[in-house]
Chain A
Amino acid sequence: MPQPPDLEGQTTDLHIAFPANPAVIRDTLLRILAVPPLSGLSAEARGNAELVLAEVLNNVAEHAYPERAGPVSILLRRVDDGVCCQIVDRGLAMPGNRLPEGELPDRLNLALDDLPEGGFGWHLIRSLTCDLIYVRSHEENRLSFRLPDDG
């Protein structure tokens, strides 16, 4: 059973790696939120950070590593106006080597059967981050963004 990383004594920038497995992701997220730099954010910004990181990491688990849980790393750095994040994995590339648009359907007065059950993730990520950049190189996916601290 893969174990989440030990974050005792965490004080400044955070750089950790762990297997992209749903249970480990959930446990690691809860630990990351409790230590700097995310613990220094407002309650609202921390809630946004939890949601964005959960969406990004679960996408890695589901789409980059569909067969087995591979390694993912997170680098978090406090800046004046928030926290800069970089998330790196060595799994499959994004389709077309670019980020999904995450567009919602134009109209939501759809027939019951046509209501979307997915595709919300990238919309949420795009809504709650700034400076979102995706680079595919050297067989790595490298996603970076800033979580604004405007709470």
Chain B
Amino acid sequence: MQLQTQTRPKVISVSVLEDRIDAATAIQFKEKMRDATKDSPARVVLDLARVQFLDSSGLGAIVAVKKLLGPDRMLELSGLTPTVEKVFRLTRMDSIFTIHPSLEVAVSHAATA
């Protein structure tokens, strides 16, 4: 599970460099996200543009990361591919995240906020 992290003054972005977050990798994803967001600023953008497949375990891990960040930090998402977007929509988890069309949009949004 490879993640690429970019830190900016008020926002950190984490791009998932894998095509799947599934039952076989969900726990590892959660652990790596815990490390990547340690001492992070208030906004964390998780970019899923490379991810072609997300199952319920992967979705559970993303919700778990949101909970790990606690009430004072925000987990936002960007770059959802069609099948990943469908999983969020069907489970209504799209309503608990701010979802940006792309990482660029998410970061520029964060810069002006």
A-B contacts, 23 of them at CB < 8 A, read: A22-B23, A23-B24, A26-B20, A26-B22, A47-B86, A51-B83, A51-B86, A54-B22, A54-B23, A55-B56, A58-B22, A62-B23, A108-B92, A112-B70, A116-B60, A117-B60, A117-B61, A120-B60, A121-B55, A123-B91, A124-B91, A127-B90, A128-B90
Contact with A along B64-91 (1 / 0, CB 8 A): 1011001100000000001100110011
A117 touching B87 by the CB < 8 A rule? no
**Residues of A that sit less than 8 Å from B by CB:** 22-23, 25-26, 44, 47, 50-51, 54-55, 58, 61-62, 104, 108, 112-113, 115-118, 120-121, 123-124, 127-128
**Distance (whole angstroms) from the CB of B8 to the closest CB of chain A:** 24
**Distance (whole angstroms) from the CB of B67 to the closest CB of chain A:** 6
In the complex with contacts A104-B91, A112-B70, A118-B23 CB distance below 8 A: no
**Distance (whole angstroms) from the CB of B54 to the closest CB of chain A:** 8
Bound state CA distance, A66 and B66, in angstroms? 28
- Interface size class, chain B: 20 to 34
Contacts of A23 in B (CB 8 A): 24
Give the interface SS of chain B, mostly helix, strand, loop or mixed. helix
Contacts of B56 in A (CB 8 A): 55, 118, 120-121, 124
Give the interface SS of chain A, mostly helix, strand, loop or mixed. helix
A58 touching B23 by the CB < 8 A rule? yes
In the complex with contacts A58-B23, A115-B66, A124-B60 CB distance below 8 A: no
Contact with A along B38-74 (1 / 0, CB 8 A): 0000000000000001011101110110110011000
**Distance (whole angstroms) from the CB of A116 to the closest CB of chain B:** 7
